[in-house]
Amino acid sequence: MLNHLSNIVADMVSEKLNDIDGIVFNKIILQKPKKPEFGHFATNFCFSLAKEMKKSPVHIATEYADIISKLDFIESANAVSGFVNIFLKQEFLNEISDDYLKNGFQAEKKNKKILLEYISANPTGPLHIGHARGAIGGYYIQKCGSFLGYEIDTEYYVNDAGKQMDLLGLSVWLRACESILSREVEFPEDYYRGDYILDIANDIYEQDKNIIINKDLKKIADIAKSKVLDLIKNDLSKIDIHFDYFVSEKSLYAKWDDTEKIIKDYCYKKDGKLWLETTKASDEKDRVVVREDGVPTYLAGDILYHKNKFERDYDTYINIWGADHHGYINRVKSAIKFLGFNEEKLEILLSQMVALLKDGKPYKMSKRKGNFILMEEVREEIGNDALKFIFLTKKFDTHLEFDISKLKEQNSSNPIFYINYAHARINSLLEKSQFSKKDIENHNFQNLSQESSNLLLFALMLSETIENSFNQKAPNKLTDYLYELSSLFHSFYNANKFIDNENEKDYLKVSIIVANSIKIGLSMMGIEAKEKMY
């Protein structure tokens, strides 16, 4: 099993340094130099030792570079302005490459359970392009976390209570009156529209027309909710997203009275409403949890849901919310604290807005489909791979804008094409080679150039890139890495002859490792690397 490459090297160097001078070293931190000529790795530990040793970082670096250079796996180490630059031996690179090809990146199982809740769009219409960002981001976190050894359960919270359900039922009924019963109808602007509303109305009328004729709005809303949820599940299945659990908000309200008793010491009544003192936990003002009519608010539903979550005893809870939910963070965390749970276990990611362009102009929405851009509409136009990749190219808290026309081009301006082209190009080289893939993998490096060894090292940094991406909830760290890895390979390919070259096996072994890292990296996004490009 290959651990993070930088960790392996850092551990071995730290162990050696701890044996000398009576200085206790914490594990040194290695960085990838900006310029390849500065080494495979660089470290600045000499700056932190300057005060303790009463010497300048430049002087310390000179002393320790000489010690580090004598390590078995180090080719050379040199001091530059207080930094120590490290070059690794070819034999060591071969050893870790063989380990990778044999065992891959296999993380040890972590004793940590995570409940990941994402999307949770109201079941009042199909998923739009804004929902897609949370959907694809949540899928990515689940894949990376599982790869790293966490046990992750996924959940969709179904907001099937409250005014939006009443509005859904009334919207379907009005559409049925207009299109099926041929009645004059005034359709308010804020009601749900789109072809799906008419489809639901037709389905209900065919199933039992009396539900429509008798204006049974409750039943209409229940049926409509189920049908919309099926639409959502179907759209998600097309991009391979499936949930372990669906939790109904409506089903939780039976426990409101018991829950209210738990938080009663943090509640008070005013103007006929029940208020929660969320200001005691950093909220800007107290919040209503029960209205004058005795009906619990949206916040009450969130309290019930998070109580339900925390009672299931996970180590960490991750919620991915839309940016418009920013104001809910403090009030929900306040409620968790009042319920007697550790609110620090909850991590909330806010997914920022998406702006969609086509040929440099704002994407035109289809009023026929309901005044919003459907996720499925975009998926059909650019395909699964481009849809998944582009939504991971920015951190959750950063606005995302992209032009779908660029994602249909077959050149380097389309990042997923560019990355897939590197993977396919490597497969093409292996097909052209006189050597079998097994022969290449069993080959010991003979003459690795600085350029090829730097490409190799970068390919071997995949696992730590995935871990950093997961820990920081920054999917762009992996998309950027894969693009840079592909760019390094394309440059290396264009500068060197691979087939019938004395270094053919060296180059192809490095290439196989590059291809493996591209394949694993793309799999974190639910993308299958292309073997061939047409």
- Report the alpha-carbon distance of residue 248 to residue 308 in Å, rounded: 11
**Measured distance CA(444)–CA(506) in Å, rounded:** 8
For residue range 347-382, list pLDDT tens digits in order: 999 999 899 998 888 887 654 455 678 999 999 999
Among the listed residues 96, 115, 2, 87, the one whose alpha carbon sits nearest the alpha carbon of residue 467? 2
- The residues facing 356 across adjacent strands are 402
Q: Where exactly does CATH 3.30.1360.70 map onto the chain?
A: 5-88
Q: Are strands 245-248 and 354-358 parallel, antiparallel or unpaired?
A: unpaired
Token duo for residue 313 = 């005893």
Give the up-direction half-sphere exposure of residue 155: CA atoms within 13 A in the CB hemisphere. 22
Strands, E assignment, 339-432: 346-351, 354-358, 361-362, 400-403
Q: Provide the CATH number for the domain formed by 5-88 in this structure.
A: 3.30.1360.70
Helices 163-179 and 195-207 pack at an angle, to 10 degrees, of 80
Sheet holding 354-358, edge to edge: 361-362, 354-358, 400-403
CATH 1.10.730.10 assigned to domain 415-523? The reply is yes
Instruction: Look up residue 352 and give its two tokens.
Output: 């920022």
The first and second tokens of residue 285, run together, are 């003002």
Q: Please report the sign of the dihedral spanned by the C-alpha atoms of residue 179, residue 180, residue 182, residue 183.
A: negative
* C-alpha to C-alpha distance for 133 and 415, rounded to whole angstroms: 18
Chain segment 15-26, per-residue pLDDT in tens: 777 766 656 666
Query: What is the distance between the alpha carbons of residues 154 and 134, in angstroms, rounded to a whole number?
Result: 13
Strand partners, 317: 115, 346
CB 63 within 8 A of CB 40: no
**Ordered per-residue pLDDT tens for the chain, 534 residues:** 345 788 888 888 887 777 666 566 666 888 888 887 888 999 988 888 888 788 898 998 898 898 898 888 999 999 999 999 999 999 999 999 999 999 887 778 899 999 999 999 999 999 999 999 999 999 999 999 999 999 999 999 999 998 999 999 999 999 999 999 999 888 888 889 889 999 999 999 999 999 999 999 999 999 999 999 999 999 999 999 999 999 999 999 999 999 999 999 999 999 999 999 999 887 889 999 999 999 999 999 999 999 999 999 999 999 999 988 888 899 999 999 999 999 999 999 999 989 999 888 888 765 445 567 899 999 999 999 999 999 999 999 999 999 999 998 888 889 999 999 999 999 999 999 999 999 999 999 998 988 999 999 999 999 999 999 999 999 999 999 999 999 999 999 999 999 998 999 999 999 999 999 999 999 999 999 999 987
Task: Sort strands 361-362 and 267-270 into parallel, antiparallel or unpaired.
Answer: unpaired
Report d(CA 42, CA 57) in Å as an integer.
14
The CA-to-CA distance between both ends of the chain, in Å, stands at 36
What are the pLDDT digits (tens) for 503-527?
999 999 999 999 999 999 999 999 9
Strand-pairing partners, residue 115, are 153, 317
Q: In the prediction, which pLDDT does 327 show?
A: 85
Please give the structure tokens belonging to residue 204: 């209900």
User: What SS3 class is residue 275?
Assistant: strand
Alpha-carbon distance 441 to 260, whole Å? 64
Would you give the distance in Å from CA 74 to the centre of its chain? 36
- Distance between CA atoms of 405 and 229, rounded to whole angstroms? 30
* Residue ranges of the chain assigned to CATH 1.10.730.10: 415-523
